[in-house]
Amino acid sequence: MSSGKGGELIPSSSELDLDRPNIEDYLPSGSSIQEPLGKLRLCDLLDISPTLTEAAGAIVDDSFTRCFKSNPPEPWNWNVYLFPLWCCGVVIRYLILFPVRVIVLTVGWIIFLSCFIPVHLLLKGHDKLQKNMERALVELICSFFVASWTGVINYHGPRPSMRPKQVFVANHTSMIDFIILEQMSSFAVIMQKHPGWVGLLQSTILESVGCIWFNRTEAKDRETVTKKLREHSQGVDNNPLLIFPEGTCVNNQYSVMFKKGAFELGCTICPIAIKYNKIFVDAFWNSRKQSFTMHLLQLMTSWAVVCDVWYLEPQNLRPDETPIEFAERVRDIISVRAGLKKVPWDGYLKYSRPSPKHRERKQQSFAESVLRRLEEN
């Protein structure tokens, strides 16, 4: 994407997918402009009601905003018997569970740092051993994190194996997705570079598992990142890559369109579906509303984080498929498994406007219908 004068993103036409699936197929107002026959009259030309209706429909409710709505569990403490129970619950969660969890996490960090720093500094020469130890330590600290939220995670399917030319993709709900998956087996992840303590973690510890950084707002970044992805996936000794093709956190009830980058690397794609149980906590990280620290604190003061992780059957690009069709097929597999509804929007529309191509398509169909009816005059 190229940057405009004010730093806003202007999608270039090569960027925005001339071969994307047709959004009109998914949108409710598919038959918006009916095909009335007969002579064109003044009222037909001036009748903007179909377009206005579509506009009003989008204002009243739209599938894109629904993807990013936090859905906290229904409050159940609304009567005189349940309220004291709920209060007890709050006391237990904040005054008993939370301190215990903080202690567990602190202990975990102490153990981790006291092993990681020596390993990192002293084993500089012994690459293989260093890598293995660092991987094991990262898995350890992730387990501590998961324990600090009382994570109850059901893993289904065969544990990921470390083979070259293999890339894992998953749906994205929060940054804890990475922690949950990393606990089981070591992945190299590609992430947006964050500020603050998260950024510090990214540049020190996560480097050791082989992570790749990108910056959404940087124009040239896309090419360098694609190159790095390709190099990493070809390497034999690297951790398998974990990619979240949605590009942004979605609320675990919908899935937005997958970016094709991961599907063009010529590797086998192993889909992973993650579904959080909302009864215990809404794990969606609404990065506009909460910082990651607040999000973690919210998790640590809930009862538990319960989720299901499914490792699904590896997929390959079929000979007659484009990478975009491949991405859609994998998105289908993951959405079906995790019970997510698919929407035809690009997650990055959170940060930018849709391509003018869509408006042009509507203009074209209007123009064609006017001209066609003129011929009949």
Partner 1 sequence: MGNSSSMLTQYDIEEVQEYCQNLFSQQEIVSLYQRFCQLDRNAKGFISADEFLSVPEFAMNPLSQMVDGLNFKDFVAFLSAFSAKASVQQKVKLIFKVYDSDGNGKVSFNDMLEVLRDLSGSFISDVQREQVLTQLLKEAGYSKDSYLTLDDFNKIFGISELKMEVEVPVD
Residues of the shown chain interacting with partner 1 in the complex, contacts defined by CB under 8 A: 23, 27, 40-65, 69, 345, 349, 353-354, 358-360, 362-364, 366-368, 370-371, 374
Report in angstroms how near the CB of residue 138 gets to partner 1 at its nearest: 37
Closer by beta carbon to partner 1, 258 or else 311: 258
CA separation for the pair 297, 304 (Å, rounded): 12
b/e per residue, 138-148, with b = 16+ CB within 10 A? Answer: bebbbbbbbeb
Task: Please enumerate in sequence order all residues whose Cβ is within 8 A of that of 165, keeping only pairs 6 or more positions apart, or say none.
Answer: 233, 234, 266, 267, 268
Q: Which residue has the tokens 């949605």?
A: 246
> How many beta carbons lie within 10 A of that of residue 54, not counting itself?
16
Closer by beta carbon to partner 1, 76 or else 351: 351
CA separation for the pair 166, 235 (Å, rounded): 10
Backbone angles phi, psi at 235, to 5 degrees: -65, 140
- Please answer whether residues 256 and 250 qualify as being in contact, where contact means their C-beta atoms are separated by less than 8 angstroms: yes
Report in angstroms how near the CB of residue 18 gets to partner 1 at its nearest: 16
Closer by beta carbon to partner 1, 157 or else 344: 344
Judged on CB neighbours under 10 Å (0-12, 13-18, 19+), 18 is exposed
Closer by beta carbon to partner 1, 61 or else 313: 61
Report in angstroms how near the CB of residue 288 gets to partner 1 at its nearest: 8
- Please answer whether residues 271 and 315 qualify as being in contact, where contact means their C-beta atoms are separated by less than 8 angstroms: yes
Q: Which two tokens stand for residue 210?
A: 């082989």
Q: What DSSP line would sit under 342-376, residue for residue? A: EEEEEGGGGTSPPPHHHHHHHHHHHHHHHHHHHHT
Report in angstroms how near the CB of residue 55 gets to partner 1 at its nearest: 5
Closer by beta carbon to partner 1, 4 or else 125: 4
Closer by beta carbon to partner 1, 21 or else 89: 21
Report in angstroms how near the CB of residue 10 gets to partner 1 at its nearest: 14
Report in angstroms how near the CB of residue 340 gets to partner 1 at its nearest: 19
CA separation for the pair 167, 102 (Å, rounded): 34
Q: Phi-psi region for residue 17, left (φ > 0), alpha (ψ -120 to 50) or beta?
A: left
Report in angstroms how near the CB of residue 185 gets to partner 1 at its nearest: 36
Report in angstroms how near the CB of residue 222 gets to partner 1 at its nearest: 21
Closer by beta carbon to partner 1, 70 or else 203: 70
Q: Which two tokens stand for residue 224?
A: 């360098």
218: β partners: none
Q: Which two tokens stand for residue 353?
A: 């406007």
Report in angstroms how near the CB of residue 356 gets to partner 1 at its nearest: 9
CA separation for the pair 330, 328 (Å, rounded): 5
Q: Which two tokens stand for residue 152?
A: 């109850």
Closer by beta carbon to partner 1, 154 or else 365: 365
Closer by beta carbon to partner 1, 63 or else 130: 63
